[in-house]
């Protein structure tokens, strides 16, 4: 009898639904140019990114590496999450993105997610670190 061992998908496989090359090039303040990728993420990861529990650049969950939400510096990629993540969410979200005063942003984001996730996935444009 042939027995195949089923292995569950990795966390990455379950949450990064698609990565596609993009023609978008961004220019950094210091003049470096970077190509971006289109990355489609699961609703769970998007919510974590919106709520500051996961890094928008490297997708590290802060809890896993012993960091609080919205850390001043992501242990993995060095992003200043506290300062930059909300700006990157707004900047890199494809299509509609949440706007409004900071204190109501989380509610708006959740409302946005509920509406947005009538589609199976959402796309953000992410820095291509490859």
Question: What residues between 26 and 55 interact with Zn ion by CB under 5 A?
Answer: 55
Q: Which is nearer to Zn ion, 46 or 55 (CB)?
A: 55
Task: Identify the CA nearest to 26 among candidates 18, 17, 35.
Answer: 35
CA distances from 113 to 22, 37, 62, 82, 110 (A): 23, 21, 21, 21, 5
Select the residue interacting with Zn ion from 17, 76, 105, 125 (CB under 5 A): 76
Are 78 and 86 a contacting pair, CB within 8 Å?
A: no
Task: Count the residues of the shown chain that bind Zn ion, applying the rule CB under 5 A.
Answer: 8
Q: Which is nearer to Zn ion, 58 or 105 (CB)?
A: 58
Among 46-54, 78-86, 93-101, 115-123, which window interacts with Zn ion (CB under 5 A)? 78-86
Among 62-70, 77-85, 100-108, 118-126, which window interacts with Zn ion (CB under 5 A)? 77-85
Provide the token pair at 87: 């700006």
Select the residue interacting with Zn ion from 38, 50, 57, 71 (CB under 5 A): 57
Select the residue interacting with Zn ion from 40, 49, 74, 122 (CB under 5 A): 74
Provide the token pair at 8: 């569950």
The H-or-E segment that residue 21 falls in is: strand 16-27
User: 54: which strand partners?
Assistant: 61
Residues of this chain that bind Zn ion (CB under 5 A): 55, 57-58, 60, 74, 76-77, 79
């Amino acid at each position: 009898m042939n027995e195949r061992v089923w292995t569950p998908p990795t966390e990455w496989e379950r949450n990064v639904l698609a990565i596609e090359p993009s023609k978008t090039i961004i220019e950094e303040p210091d003049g470096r140019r970077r190509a971006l990728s289109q990355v489609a993420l699961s609703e769970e990861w998007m919510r974590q990114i919106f709520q500051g529990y996961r890094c928008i650049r490297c997708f590290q969950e802060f809890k896993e590496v012993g960091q609080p939400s919205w850390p001043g510096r992501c242990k993995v990629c060095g992003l200043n999450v506290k300062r930059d993540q909300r700006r990157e969410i707004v900047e890199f979200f494809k299509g509609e993105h949440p706007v409004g005063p900071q204190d109501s942003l989380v509610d708006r984001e959740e409302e946005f997610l509920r509406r947005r996730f009538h589609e199976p996935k959402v796309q953000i444009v992410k820095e291509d670190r490859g």
